[in-house]
Structure 1
Amino acid sequence: MVNGNHDAKPVKESTNHVVVVGAGPGGLMLASNLVRYGIKATIVDDRVDKTSTGRADGLQPKTIETFKQLGLAGPLLRRGVRIYDICFWNSSADTPLRRTGREVHYPPEVVDVEEPYILLVHQGMIEDIFLKDLRMRGVEVIRSSPFLCYSQKKDGNSPVEVECTDLKTGKTRPFKTQYLVGCDGAHSKVSKVMLGPVEHNESSKSAWGVLDGVIETDFPDRWSKAVVSSETAGSILCIPRERNMTRLYIELHPAEAPISSDAATEEFVMWRAREIMKPFSLSWKTVEWFGIYKVGQRVAKRFSDDLEQVFIAGDAAHSHSPKAAQGMNVSMHDSFNLAWKLNLAVRGLAAPGLLSTYEQERKKIAEDLIDFDFGHANAISAGDPVALAENFTKNIRFISGVGAEYSENILNVLEKNSKGGLRSGSLLLPAKVTRYIDANPVDIQLDIPMLGQFRIFFFTPDVKTACAFLDKVCEEIASPRTILGRVSNAAAVSYATLSPVHTEMDEFVQPNRYTGASKVFTYSIVTTMNKEDVEIADLPRLLQDSCWTFYLDSVMKKPTCTEKWLGKLSEHEVAIVNVRPDGYVGSVGRWNAIDVGADCEAVTWLDAYYKGFLKA
């Protein structure tokens, strides 16, 4: 593969840093993050307005966490329906419909999350949250502008020339941009230009009808997620929705009674649903949306072009069945992974290889998703409660989002003889600490807002014992002798000319608390000392300037944050945890603070890690 030349200065001829095609959740997540970072993003969409009915509707625990980190979760949590359990019902020619099982959706002994439920919110509500966030920052979606094509020179330094059609005037609307990202769905035009025609592998043996509406039924588990399987009539997946609605996925091709999806009218699908649900009654007071879909499972052969100027994300890169509430979640996390990398590339801070990690990491997740979805969809279609339960249990961490893990690469460096629960390429584990400056108990994995910066955590049982070690390390990483210091200096210049728009939200978030010491790195220290035994003045200057991220591991909860993340630390031990801007652990290191040369070893270790993908 030919890597793009990201040593070049930002392209002067380009009026855009990034053009995003598609204003669904994936495209809006990308645009919102880029604009928050100060990047000039233009987003175009072929539709006249946001999604009004139908489409995706479920947020998994990790996605809820991401929205909380972005400060956007409030309206969704207030409006959404929470699903904590899943029920299984079966019938056969000889046995009437009966409940065969009930499971906690996210058992705490398996899935360690703060929000152990699926949040059902309509896709249009999610889009609206992003649209308001973008509008607050002076950005509007360019509507009624379907993507036509793009062209680029092979030098990797010239802008990508993008053409869309303005449906209002019929004229071609041109754009020049450093990067183009296609978030334009399963029939992506960006993907077709980049990769050529893509075979969708849609199977005629798995067609489903979807109905959103207010139902009347005496089915006892209507407010839980329920899988209902009839040996003769097929299967239904029942999901409660907001505004007293229920979504039903109704199988159209059971082995005993197949029907062409072309002939499946709304009335027929309702009849089929009643047959599956017998002896329970089922009728509709209102229907908000009706649709037919066929399951097509695929992963694009590439997620970027050879020059790493054009990318695809979400359904443009992978497609699967919607029955496990994964598509919208995975799409938004594709974008979340890509956004911070594009920010660094636009600012000239990304070393060659950083943008390559997008495809490395997200293609693996897409392939893992297809593997899970294949078994999950087949088990539902077969009405096999044992196979369905086994598939669900095996994949529950992945389904929740916290089990979406990345392999070793330049961003994820494995720790030798690792202790505790943190692993490179995995998400931070939830843990409680006390924020020193105001004595607030906080969730450490959520407390620092997502501003596009790396988080560097120092852990030590005793700040005073480790004082000399911390002084030396902090002095070096703040100086131009290390890549961290040089990148921080370069970023200060970049952000002075290319800065995020100040919004009302910033008055509450106070970003400078977390970016005052560096625009790229937020430094934090966690200690098990009592508050009365340590002062902010005892910290090195770099950590004093980061006083809002000074934490006491004093919340009376077992295991403590230190134990949960790192295992036991000895009296003189210092651990350093590098956390990527998307919340994944990059690397973990440990040193005996009183050993001769330990501080220099730690500086060398930090320098080597960040030299792998940053430059200045």
Structure 2
Amino acid sequence: MPGKDSDINGSKPASEAVDVLVVGAGPAGLMAAFALARAGINVKIIDKRPVKVAAGQADGIQPRTLEVFKSFGLSDRLMKEGTQLHVAAFYNPSKGGGIELTDRVPDVTAQDTNFPFEVTLHQGAIEAIFHDNMRDMGVEVSRPVVPLSIEVDERRVEDPEAYPVRVVLRHVGSGDDDEDNGRETEIVNAKYVLGADGAHSWVRKNLNIAMEGEQTQYVWGVVDLVPDTDLPDIRNKCAIHSDNGSCMIIPREGDKVRLYIQLDGKDIIDGHGRVDKTKAGPDMILDVARKTLHPFTIRTPESYDWWTIYIIGQRVAERFSFHDRVFIAGDACHTHSPKAGQGMNASMHDSYNLAWKLAHVLRGTARRSLLRTYELERRQYAQDLISFDKKFAKLFSGKPYSELNLDGVSHAEFLKAFQTFGGFTSGLGVQYADSDIISLRYQHLAKNVPIGRRLPPQPLLRAADSRPVDLHDFLVSDTRFKLLVFTGDTRNPEQMAKVGVFAKAFITTPKPEPSSSFFAEFSSSAALRKVFDIIPISSEKKRTIKYNAIPKLLWEHWSKVLVDDVEMSGRRGGRAYEAFGIDAAGAVIVVRPDGYVATIAPLDGISVLSSYFRAFIKPI
């Protein structure tokens, strides 16, 4: 008999070493593999499915996710292929029977974004954006491949050069037989592994990580189709409460729409509490939809694009990592209802949070302690998400208020929840707590920029040519920390002297003893620039500012010297200091590689910044 590491012919299987092995090529896995490959990390990604998703699955991209796509240079394609949702329409029971239009409001209530809308596009098309860009970097998904075993050598987990995670893989056939013994096996020795393999995660189960939470009684059907209907809001997002149940309508790319339909469930749930799809189908879902949409009509299409039925489950994994060497992300560590459009978004933000931290640790520019903040931040977010989802799902699935049901959910109650939770559902209101990488001490220096939240956009001008730009244009996802140096009025000699003193802290002069400036401990200016991107923002006016009067130590290219002034047309810009709550003395805002505000320091606070970064960054 062959040994456990032998293939069917008894020969030794192939072996390779990688920095990161990603298990699962859904949105969470692809975001991780793409971000890591873009950062120059040796990454391998596998998936058990023989082909990528072609239709259906998740489809909503929230504003914060659109900002992230822009930071990677991926938003143009997403906007071109997807459908924008600007309006949310609400329908409720009418006195004459059936439903009627109650209200129309902005779909996204938050306004501090350049993307005040959702974009819908089926998951396969979203994944294709990652696939195509990864291919350009020489990374392809290996499929169909299933993991057979995973072992972590706990004696070597603290060794930065070690590959302590050993995973045995099997390349299977194109069918569904995961135990196809006629296929070859492969051993991957990895420094880190990410399990992004869905709600039934193999990685999570093999690490004995429990899911905590419960399954609700809410059963929903989903169907994608090109509708033939007289509903006037079919091209708007619709939240519909009727005496027959609830429905959500999501316009999709082209002429398609997605219908979420509340089902009774008693005829399609088996004895184990699972959905029996043999007892249901898209026609049955559409028949329920007709009753919910009455008096409006919707005809049966010639074909359906995709359909499914699910029971809402609300669970969070008890932990998100194992020795900070194996991590889980996305549905592998949190499950919830899809009505608020958080599943795919939350999954990709898990990976986005982890990828830059892995990149710094693997490059040797950060201590491994940085990786602990992944679970700290994303598990708390997942718990908050479940708490929100319980309230939202209950409101959405509850019976509507009517003369016959005075205890039902009123439109005012549902609309209030919709608007109150807007910051959360859009992703723009996510806040990370005080930690090793979030320091709240100097919040008062930029009182309108909450530390721990993503930095909002802000119109500015390039100092050299007065070209209008947005601050988000400079928050590129390149794994670097952005030091936004609000210099104050650089026409003022005293203020300029302060700026000069600050700039000298970035003169890299390695010494045997640690410098009072953390930044001076880097081996060279080039090494410093691999970790930090410094962007000065002056409050001087465009008519007098000289971009090259700003110390050269504070900018790497002329296009990165900015001025807070109105554009030549006089219509936009000129209020950044006021909007952020920064006074004439200036301040330094530190933005993490994922766009979140990490800390704020005074302009003469090099010691503050040095203390902050020494806790987890290593000069190179």
The TM-score normalised by the length of structure 1 is: 0.87
User: Is 1:566–2:581 an aligned residue pair?
Assistant: yes
Give the whole-Å Cα distance in 2 for the aligned partners of 1:14 and 1:167: 18
Residue of structure 2 equivalent to 1:225: 237
Q: Tell me the alpha carbon deviations over residues 81-126 of structure 1, each in whole angstroms, 9 at most, x when there is no partner.
A: 111111111227963311222221123xx44111111101111111
The residue number in structure 1 matching 2:308 is 291
How does 1:69-84 map onto structure 2 within 5 Å? 69-84=71-86
Identity %: 36
Corresponding residue to 1:608 among 585, 591, 611: 611
Instruction: Give the whole-Å Cα distance in 1 for the aligned partners of 2:550 and 2:445.
Output: 27
Residue 154 of structure 1 deviates from its aligned partner by 1.0
3-state SS of paired residue (1:518): helix
Distance 1:559 1:392 in 2: 33
Question: Structure 1 regions of 5+ residues with no counterpart?
Answer: 1-12, 493-516, 592-598
Report the AA paired with residue 389 of structure 1. Answer: L
Aligned to 1:520: 531
Per-residue deviation at 1:320?
0.4
Counterpart in 1 of 2:484?
Answer: 457
1 CA distance for matches of 2:50 and 2:526?
38
Which structure 2 residues correspond to residues 442-521 of structure 1 after superposition, within 5 A? 442-464=469-491, 465=493, 466-479=495-508, 480=510, 481=515, 482-487=517-522, 489=524, 492=527, 518-521=529-532
C-alpha distance 485-126 of structure 1, shift in aligned 2 (>3 A):
farther
Return 86-95 or 242-251, whichever deviates more: 86-95
SS in 2 for 1:477: coil
Q: Is the CA contact (8 Å cut-off) linking 2:535 and 2:555 kept in structure 1?
A: no
Structure 2: how far apart are the matches of 1:227 and 1:375?
A: 15
Distance 2:319 2:526 in 1: 31
> Does the CA-based 8 Å contact 2:16-2:187 persist in structure 1?
no
C-alpha contact (below 8 Å) 1:522/1:546 kept by paired residues: no
Is 1:582 aligned to residue 594 of structure 2?
yes
1:497 corresponds in structure 2 to none
1:214–1:284 CA contact under 8 A, matched in 2:
no
Q: Structure 1 residues 343 and 490 mapped into 2: Cα distance closer, same or farther (>3 Å)? A: farther
Residue of structure 1 equivalent to 2:132: 132
Shift of 1:230: 1.9
* Separation in 1, partners of 2:523, 2:421: 40
Task: Kindly state the Cα deviation for residue 206 of structure 1 after the two structures are TM-superposed.
Answer: 1.0
Report the Cα distance in structure 1 between the residues aligned to 2:452 and 2:81, rounded to whole angstroms.
33
Mapped partners of 2:125, 2:415: distance in 1 = 31
Does the CA contact (< 8 Å) of 2:211 and 2:318 recur in 1? no
Which residues in structure 2 correspond to 1:58-77 (within 5 Å)? 58-77=60-79
Aligned to 2:304, what secondary structure does the other structure show?
strand
- The ranges of structure 1 where at least 4 consecutive aligned residues each deviate by more than 6 angstroms after the TM superposition are none
1:428 alignment partner, one of 455, 458, 462: 455
Q: How does 1:542-561 map to 2 (within 5 A)?
A: 542-555=553-566, 556=570, 557=572, 560-561=575-576
In the TM superposition, residue 251 of structure 1 has moved relative to its aligned partner by 0.9
Alignment match, 1:9: none
Q: Which residue of 1 aligns with 2:11?
A: none
Question: Which of 1 and 2 has higher RCO (CA within 8 Å, sep 6+)?
Answer: 1
Distance in 2, matches of 1:146 and 1:521, equals 39
Measure how far apart 1:312 and its partner are. Answer: 0.6
1:393-404 to 2 correspondences below 5 Å = 393-404=419-430
In 1, the alpha carbon distance for the partners of 2:293 and 2:574 equals 46
Kindly indicate whether residue 214 of structure 2 is the aligned counterpart of residue 201 of structure 1.
yes
**1:352 Cα offset (Å):** 4.2
Q: Quick one: structure 1 residues 14 and 410, their matched pair in 2 at CA, closer, same or farther if it must change by over 3 Å?
A: farther
AA aligned to 2:577 is T
The alpha-carbon deviation at position 374 of structure 1 amounts to: 1.0
Q: Which amino acid aligns with 2:387?
A: D
Q: Tell me the SS of whatever aligns to 1:282.
A: coil
Would the aligned equivalents of 1:434 and 1:442 in 2 still touch at CA under 8 Å? Answer: yes
| Bigger shift: residues 15-24 or 540-549 | 540-549
For residues 32 and 490 of structure 1, do their structure 2 counterparts lie closer, same or farther at Cα, with a shift above 3 Å needed? farther
* 1:20 aligned counterpart, secondary structure: strand
**In 2: Cα distance, 1:218 partner to 1:588 partner:** 54
C-alpha spacing 1:138/1:437, structure 2 compared with 1 (3 Å) = farther
Q: Report 1:227-376 matches (<5 A).
A: 227-231=239-243, 233-253=244-264, 260=269, 261-262=275-276, 263-285=279-301, 286-305=303-322, 307-376=323-392
Partner of 1:174: 187
For 1:414-425, list aligned pairs within 5 A: 414=440, 415-425=442-452
Which amino acid is 1:365 matched to?
A: Y
Is it true that 1:98 corresponds to 2:100 in the alignment? yes
Residues 228, 365 of structure 1: alpha-carbon distance in 2 compared, 3 angstrom cutoff: same
CA 1:36/1:536 → structure 2, altered by over 3 Å: closer, same or farther? Answer: same
Deviation at 1:196, TM superposition (A): 4.0
- 1:533 partner SS: coil
Deviation at residue 559 of structure 1 after TM alignment: 6.8
- Matched with 2:403 is none
* Equivalence for 1:186: 199
- Are 1:51 and 1:123, in contact at CA under 8 Å, matched by a contact in 2? yes
Report the counterpart of residue 161 of structure 1 in structure 2: 166
| Distance change >3 Å, CA 192–CA 490, structure 1 → 2 | farther
Shift of 1:246: 0.9
CA distance in 2: counterparts of 1:298 and 1:418, whole angstroms: 39
- Give the paired residue count: 561
Q: Secondary structure at the match of 2:420?
A: helix
* Residues 29, 196 of structure 2: 8 Å contact kept: yes
| Alignment RMSD | 2.1
Instruction: Show the 5 A alignment for 1:16-55.
Output: 16-55=18-57
- Which residue does 2:412 correspond to in 1? 386
Offset at residue 34 of structure 1 (A): 0.7
Superposition deviation, residue 181 in structure 1: 0.4
Q: Deviations over 1:226-254 (max 9, x none)?
A: 122222x2111111111201100111128
8 Å Cα contact 2:316-2:382 kept in structure 1:
yes
Aligned to 1:513: none
Larger displacement relative to structure 2 (258-267 or 170-179): 258-267
- Report the alpha carbon displacement of residue 284 of structure 1 after superposing the two structures with TM: 3.1
Q: Is the contact between residue 82 and residue 120 of structure 2 (CA under 8 Å) also seen in structure 1?
A: yes
Structure-2-length-normalised TM-score: 0.86
In structure 1, the partner of 2:10 is none
Deviations 1:378-434 (A, max 9, x none): 111114233322221211011111101101111111125354311210111111001
Q: Is residue 2:247 matched to residue 1:212?
A: no
Distance 1:490 1:112, change over 3 A: closer
- Secondary structure of 1:367 counterpart: helix
- Structure 2 unaligned regions, length at least 5: 1-14, 174-181, 270-274, 401-408
State the SS of the aligned residue for 1:323. Answer: coil
**Cα distance in 2, alignment partners of residues 490 and 152 from structure 1:** 38
Deviations 1:257-309 (A, max 9, x none): 8754423232221211111111111113231111111111111110111x210
Q: Sort the Cα spacing of 1:93 and 1:186 in 2 relative to 1 into closer, same or farther, 3 A.
A: farther
Which amino acid is 2:203 matched to? V
Residue 540 (structure 1) aligned to one of 551, 556, 570:
551
1:349–1:487 Cα contact (<8 Å) kept: no
Q: CA deviation at 1:350?
A: 1.5
For residues 479 and 53 of structure 2, the distance between their equivalents in structure 1, rounded to whole angstroms, comes to 28
